Amino acid sequence: MIHLFSLIMRITLKFGLLIIFTYFQIQLYGQCTLDDIKLEQIEQKTIRKYLERQIEEGKHQFYDIQPSWNSGDDLSLYNKDEATFFLNASLQDVWQNYLSIDPSKLWNNRSTSMGLMLQKFPAKIFYNKDSLAYTDTGQVYFLNLKLLSGIYNIPVVFQIITIDAIEMVIEFSYVEGNHSLGVQQIKFIAVDDNSTKIIHTSYFKSGSHFRDKWLYPFFHKKVTKDFHENIRRLMFLSNMSG
């Protein structure tokens, strides 16, 4: 009888924890789903098709979109590509600008255009023309990557997974189902009071050796360069207007 009572209590506890987990998950992510996205407000055909494919595969909730890499995962099996940039501004100024410039301005440059951003906590949908004044963890960006001056376009989707104000690091991971898997890390280092070094490191892999050996490094260098030059331009314009 005691064993039966103990079994019932364990089952009740597990069921109760499941209910609590489900409740908080719903509260955390809110009521928005991928089905609520208005595809007609997304101008990039590549992103619309990507979303349609995700829904067809059974992904409807925001939490169905998961990063392909999480902090602490082994990076030894990934390819590595690294680039270094310098900005003539203090470490704190650079850090704040990278986090506070409207993300739609950050990701709209010569190589990329933003079509959609999903905020997981709480669940919200932002389209390219919607203004958002910060970058934060849990944000999922749907970008159109313009290759060969826009002759070839592919969708790229990643999630912001780390913003570490102590180590001065921002990490964003490609989501599962992306062409490439892995993570990009942006590390900020003070050179002096008015100069900051930025190390942009990408750890990546895909199912294609040719893609990883030749295509990714070649195009990624240009995309990364355009991204940081765009921020340099936006910082300059902000200082001029200020």
Element (H, E) at 49: helix 45-56
Question: What are the strands, taking DSSP E only, across 120-192?
Answer: 124-127, 139-147, 152-164, 169-174, 181-192
Integer Cα distance of 141 and 174 in angstroms: 10
Half-sphere exposure of 108 (CA within 13 A, CB side): 17
- Cβ distance 190 to 89 under 8 Å? no
Query: Which helix (H) or strand (E) segment is 79 a member of?
Result: strand 79-87
Q: Maximum distance among all alpha carbons in the chain?
A: 79
Q: Which of 12-26, 99-113, 195-209, 226-240 has the lowest mean pLDDT?
A: 12-26
Q: What is the pLDDT of residues 200-237, one digit of tens each?
A: 999 999 999 999 999 999 999 999 999 999 999 999 88
Instruction: Look up the CATH number of domain 39-241.
Output: 3.30.530.20
Does residue 21 surpass a pLDDT of 50?
A: no
For the chain, which residues make up each domain, given as ranges?
2-30, 39-241
Closest CA to 134 of 105, 113, 110: 105
What is the predicted pLDDT for the residue at 121? 86
Give, in degrees to the nearest 5, the angle at Cα 160 between 21 and 88: 150
- List pLDDT tens digits, range 36-59: 999 999 999 999 999 999 999 999
Length of the chain measured in residues: 242
- pLDDT for 180: 95
Average pLDDT, the chain: 88
More confident residue, 104 or 195: 195
* Average confidence (pLDDT) over 118-129: 91
Closest CA to 231 of 29, 89, 122, 136: 89
pLDDT higher than 80, residue 98: yes
pTM assigned to the model? 0.86
